[in-house]
Amino acid sequence: MRIKVDDLKIEFSRYSFELLQSDLKRLDSKYQFEKAICVAALKRDKEFIILKGEYQITLNAPCDYCFSSTQVVLDEEFELDLMPEKSRPEDSSDVEISIKSRDVEYYQGFEISLADYFEDQIILDLPMSVICSETCKGVCQQCGINRNISSCDCEEQNLNNPFKVLKDLNLTD
């Protein structure tokens, strides 16, 4: 959804819209969804815009441990200050940011694309890893069977143990 900057008022204007999978170009393809329900409230003071957004989305993604399909539900709110690109500091490496700093984004031209800001927030709100349950056992590292569904007779090995090589050392001198 695109909004003309000149159409924004001093009071908040409310916009409701949906985002489809095809609208989110930067979202990792492992996440699948039907639609994201979005609500944006915008107000303007000259060129400065405040965006208050909220969205609900249910994503389907493979569990990072066992690869079974699981749902990730996000129901989030955010607030951004939007400023014209021309007001961006020239050398942004010297900009000091504190924990209390507001989130600032920049827009170009006379329109803003709400989908871009909502996509950024969805990506930022994704969990670092997708896990189907706290008790997920993952897959067997030898035969690949999903250990949540059945067990195997493979010997349990800790392949990620950095001290594993010490077991093979010959220390008798």
Domain ranges of the chain: 2-168
Whether the CB-CB separation of 15 and 40 falls below 8 Å is answered with yes
Whether the CB-CB separation of 103 and 45 falls below 8 Å is answered with no
At 108-129, the pLDDT tens digits run 888 899 999 999 999 999 999 9
The CA distance from 122 to 128, in Å, is: 13
pTM above 0.85, yes or no: no
Ranking 40-49, 86-95, 147-156 by mean pLDDT, the lowest is 86-95
Q: How is residue 97 annotated by DSSP? A: -
Nearest CA to 125 among 66, 43, 55? Answer: 55
